[in-house]
Amino acid sequence: MSALEGRRALSLAKSLHPDLVLLDIWMPGMDGLQVVRELKQDPQTRAIPVIAVTAAVTLHDRRIALQAGCVDYIHKPYELETLEKTIFRFLKAPSPVQDREVFGGA
Q: Are 38 and 44 in contact (CB under 8 A)?
A: no
Helices (H), the chain: 6-16, 32-41, 59-68, 80-89, 96-103
- From CA 26, how far away is CA 30, in angstroms rounded? 9
Count of the separate structural domains present in the chain: 1
- 100: pLDDT strictly greater than 50: no
How many helices (H) and strands (E) are present in the chain, helices listed first?
5, 3
The domain that holds 72 is classified in CATH as 3.40.50.2300
Report whether 45 contacts 80 (CB < 8 A). no
| Amino acid at site 8 | R
Provide the pLDDT confidence category of residue 102 given band limits of 50, 70 and 90. very low
95 in a structural domain: yes
Q: What is the pLDDT of residues 26-62, one digit of tens each?
A: 888 888 999 999 999 999 999 999 999 988 778 898 9
* 1 domain residue, yes or no: no
pTM of the model: 0.82
Q: 3-state class of 8 per DSSP? A: helix
Which residues form the domain of 14? Answer: 6-103
